[in-house]
Amino acid sequence: MKYNGPKVRLSRKVGFAMTPKARKYMDRKPAPPGQHGASKKRAKLSDYAKQLMEKQRLRLQYNLHERQMTNYIKKASRIQGNKVDIFVQLLEQRLDALVFRSGLARSIYAARQYVRHGHVTVNGKKVDMPAYAVQPNDVIAVKDKSRKLEVIQEAIRSSAPPPYIDMTKAEYSFKFLYMPPREEVPIVCEVPLVIEYYSR
């Protein structure tokens, strides 16, 4: 199921900041959680444990159910081409992922909430499905009334979107330019290990 619990401790465990608050804590305490932190000798992980950890990292970065991850893997396996790129592209096409990636939201959790609450439009039409698959050249924007929200204004001021997103801050909107290769997507994960996990 989706993770709704405390995110600072989990962020230190998986090695990436799940929220802005977690990022602040990790700047001060980058070591894994626990009394001894970085001084504790970590046991060597088995191949399966490594695959499981990477799968959890990826799932948390997109805030997905296990069932959703499985469905994306199955869909990627039916498409010809580089499986790593295809799998990441399917995840990155999600509306909530792109809202977060553009900088309109400060976390994937906030992005999902904005979409579900109807603050976001795609090509001028309201879409409230976080899993909606955005297509290249689609334009995503914040509704006029929602642009007054302080959390959105704060987020957009510090936004720094990746190359496949063309941001127009003055309009609170962006265009999804193309399906990105894995190296352009800013996720913390060894994706081949995730694919290996689901191929068992």
Cβ atoms < 10 Å from Cβ of 14: 19
What percent of the chain shows pLDDT beyond 70?
Answer: 78
How far apart CA 22 and CA 43 sit, in angstroms, is 25
Please report the domains of the chain, with CATH numbers, ordered by start residue. 8-32+45-90+186-198 (1.10.1050.10), 95-178 (3.10.290.10)
Q: Is the Cα torsion angle 162, 173, 96, 60 positive or negative in sign?
A: positive
- Position 82 confidence tier, pLDDT thresholds 50, 70, 90: very high
Of 11, 167, 58, 55, give the one whose Cα is nearest residue 104: 167
Mean pLDDT of the chain: 86
How far apart CA 50 and CA 145 sit, in angstroms, is 45
Q: Is the Cα torsion angle 12, 16, 18, 22 positive or negative in sign?
A: positive
More confidently predicted of 5 and 167: 167
Angle at 159 between CA 157 and CA 162, to 5 degrees: 160
Extract the tokens encoding 61.
């970065």
Extract the tokens encoding 84.
């790593």
- pLDDT confidence of residue 114: 96
pTM above 0.85, yes or no: no
- Position 14 confidence tier, pLDDT thresholds 50, 70, 90: low
- For the stretch 98-112, pLDDT in tens is 999 999 999 999 999
